[in-house]
Copies of this chain bind each other. A is one copy, B any other.
Amino acid sequence: MNGADRLCDVLLANDIDVCFANPGTSEMHFVAALDRKPKMRCVLGLFEGVVTGAADGYGRMADKPAATLLHLGPGLANGLANLHNARRARTPMLNVVGDHATYHLQHDAPLTSDIASLARPMCHWYAETKTPEDIASTTAQAYVAAMTLPGVAVMTLPGDAAWGDLAPAPVERTPLPALPHVSADAIRDAVAALRSGKRVAMLMTGKALRTEGLTIAGRIAARTGLRLLTPQSINRIEHGIGRVPVDKVPYPVDQGVEHLADIDVLLMLGTQVPVAFFAYPGKPGRLIRDDCEVQTLARPGDDLVHALQWIADEVGAKEPPRLVQPGGLADALQPGALTADSVGYAVAKLLPEGAIVCDEAVSSGRKFFKLSENSAPHTYLQLTGGAIGVGIPMAAGAAVACPDRKVIGLQADGSGMYTVQGLWTQARENLDVVTVVFANRSYAILHGEMRNVGVNQFGRNAARMLNLDEPFLDWVTMARGMGVEGGRAETMEDFEKLLRAALGRRGPFLIEAVI
């Protein structure tokens, strides 16, 4: 056996059995080793942004890392934007970056580059493998990092480490340390705040947004008046009827400030202080009041659910939480031309129970999260890091992780073009994904931002940079070219018919909603 075989063994021993891949010459021994492991499912992306975006969606839904296989520095570079999103989401992910044989680096061959410098900004953990003997421990450490930090681990695999001979040896599952509990001091401070009469909110993420965490948080809220918040961008939440409702911090700065204006104490549960996505002249960077007290209740790798239960016990929160009740989407779909809001309403209303929503609708989707509180119970994933182009791959990865659940991608058109190649992976793997493209045919968010900087009339250059017209993108045709069926809707009647049909079948389907 060789180093690449050992790498596969350590992955499989830790139940990492999906590898999203785009290999190159330096990874041929790894490909050959994967080929000897039928338990490993290798999923090809036709661009590395598809590979890493799919691994993000997979990791969020599977609660364990997928492996990725990336080809040297440039292959990693192509995947970095979606690693950035995964880093912000703290998605468990184990990226294997092939590199030249160690002794070949001195020659500065054409594909040589500084992998460490490229990787470090976009990952939580990085290590370079040097020899075949290193591989087992490096891979195990990468797995532990991915699971416990939690987050994005990157390791290199030089050609000579991959092809170097090793004696066969048994590989055990790598033990994971228990998640750290938060300190008694942190709990005491939080409980004191909750009893102080001050207006307290908790900004939640990670496991706190699953059903168990939300239920405990909802009980604390029912007992103490605690306000439950999520960041502007949510890595994953259990959402819809029967779940505990939470408020999402709005994206526009002014709305964000207003939303958080009455908070005296903010408890950070695995999150950071909410800030403006971008700076604007004369507007604040932090969205909370300057005199708002910030308590770091838990850090991202801590046991968030344990912290919630501890607080619930301290405050005697035994009441049932307030849950979302049915009936919030009673209005009939309105016939006629489509708008972003009417499409969002139709999706929220028709969303099947158990669906996974992958939201990269950007400016077209601002109202969806609140609306879908009233949808059938579902899981909601969102673009987290602001690096557009995660939607189509994330939906693919979520569908690989959960083959029995319907995945609904809410996709802005400008963002969708970044990793449009992901549609082919949806077709190749026959993934059960319905992609709804909000075809506003512009970078609509930037039209608003131009108005924010005082430009209301566009000249030729601004129009040429901010509009996706001349020619329009024909999404249905592009999708067909990659093996995904679809249809275009210009009215609600069209859209409802297409969406019902797509929900009633299995396999990938794309609806271009012209808004």
Contact = CB atoms under 8 A, between A and B. Distances in A.
Given A38-B459, A107-B276, A384-B110, A32 B453 contact: yes
A349 interface: no
Contacts of A465: 21-23, 31, 34, 42, 44, 69
B275 A108 contact: yes
Contacts of A25: 277-278, 445-446, 449
Number of copies of chain A assembled together: 2
A407 to B, nearest CB: 19
A316 interface: no
Given A25-B277, A34-B465, A35-B455, A81 B84 contact: no
A141 B488 CA distance: 50
A111 B482 contact: no
Interface string A401-433: 000000000000010011011001001100000
A110 B277 contact: yes
Contacts of A285: 103-104, 106-107, 109
Contacts of A117: 117-118, 120-121
**Size bracket of the A interface:** 35 or more
Interface string A19-40: 0011111101101101111101
A480 B478 CA distance: 8
Given A278-B25, A285-B107, A450 B31 contact: yes
A481 B488 CA distance: 13
Interface string A71-94: 001110110110010001000000
Contacts of A477: 477-478, 480-481
Q: Which of A40, A110, A233, A452 has the most CB of B within 10 A?
A: A110
Nearest to A459: B35
Contacts of A108: 272, 275
Nearest to A107: B275
Interface in A272-293: 272-273, 275-279, 281, 285-286
B47 A385 contact: no
A258 to B, nearest CB: 19
A472 to B, nearest CB: 8
- For A88, A163, A464, the residue with the greatest tally of chain B CB atoms inside 10 Å of its CB is A464
A254 to B, nearest CB: 15
A236 to B, nearest CB: 16
Interface string A58-76: 0000000000010001110
Interface of A: 21-26, 28-29, 31-32, 34-38, 40, 42-44, 46-47, 49, 69, 73-75, 77-78, 80-81, 84, 88, 100-101, 103-104, 106-111, 113-114, 117-118, 120-122, 159-160, 163, 232-233, 272-273, 275-279, 281, 285-286, 384-387, 389, 414, 417-418, 420-421, 424, 427-428, 443, 445-446, 449-450, 452-455, 458-462, 464-466, 468, 470-483
15 contacts: A25-B445, A29-B453, A32-B462, A34-B465, A35-B462, A46-B418, A47-B417, A74-B81, A75-B387, A80-B80, A101-B279, A117-B121, A159-B278, A160-B279, A481-B481
Given A47-B418, A420-B420, A473-B481, 4 more contacts: A23-B465, A77-B80, A77-B387, A78-B418
